[in-house]
A and B are shown apart, each in its own frame.
Chain A
Amino acid sequence: QKEVEQNSGPLSVPEGAIASLNCTYSDRGSQSFFWYRQYSGKSPELIMFIYSNGDKEDGRFTAQLNKASQYVSLLIRDSQPSDSATYLCAASDSGGYQKVTFGIGTKLQVIP
């Protein structure tokens, strides 16, 4: 059974701080990794994807991938109350979206 593990939280950080969200995956064949943000009552929206070991930055968001450790993380710099949401980590065993396994999601609360 392929699994993606996340701490369900909640993770509370003060406004302006760095939020660090972590995820591990069990399938070494996983090639693509995604972070989605889901606001309460809304559908998930893609924030970032990463395929290669190392860091990938997009604005306030940085995704980190370590395939040897089977570890993916998302850093959110200068956290804002509007970042309060559930963050879903996902892994795909192909190059794209044919079959994606999601983690349970980490609830992030940014305290003003």
Chain B
Amino acid sequence: KAGVTQTPRYLIKTRGQQVTLSCSPISGHRSVSWYQQTPGQGLQFLFEYFSETQRNKGNFPGRFSGRQFSNSRSEMNVSTLELGDSALYLCASNLGTDNQGTLNTEAFFGQGTRLTVV
């Protein structure tokens, strides 16, 4: 069973550019969450998608956006890059809760995309 796949693994961009990161969840998983990890701030929640809908959003500026496709693959986009956006971006795949609120607790992280803004 394939795991969570994030592409690309490494990126170097210059300030002001924009970037798109991709996450392919485990087959059958409908929930994808995105996180930013930096040494000083730890893991910070960006947003979560379930069945192509953004269900929740963290406290990040509007330059950070995302979407989910019908096959559950997700992309996140960062526009007008700043030096402070340099980080490891992780996505996590989860079965998600159903309409009855049945919980699935296992989330699996991809290997991340290391973004460096220069």
Contacts and interface: CB of A to CB of B under 8 A. Distances in A.
A43 B42 contact: no
Q: Looking at chain B's contact residues, is the secondary structure mostly helix, strand, loop, or mixed?
A: strand
Contact of A97 (B33, B59, B112): B33
Contact of A99 (B43, B48, B105): B48
A101 interface: yes
B97 interface: yes
Given A43-B90, A43-B111, A44-B90, A98 B42 contact: no
Contact of B31 (A32, A46, A90, A97): A97
B103 interface: yes
A61 interface: no
Contact of B45 (A42, A99, A103, A105): A99
B109 A45 contact: yes
Name the residue in B43, B44, B58 with the highest tally of chain A Cβ atoms < 10 Å from its Cβ. Answer: B43
Interface in A6-43: 32, 34, 42-43
A95 interface: yes
A97 B43 contact: no
Interface of B: 31, 33, 35, 41-45, 48, 50, 55-56, 58-59, 90, 92, 94, 96-97, 101, 103-112
Give 6 closest A-B pairs by Cβ, nearest first. Answer: A102-B43, A43-B109, A104-B42, A99-B56, A95-B103, A49-B105
6 contacts: A42-B111, A43-B110, A95-B97, A97-B31, A97-B48, A105-B43
Given A32-B103, A97-B96, A98-B50, 8 more contacts: A32-B105, A43-B109, A43-B112, A44-B90, A95-B97, A96-B94, A99-B58, A102-B43
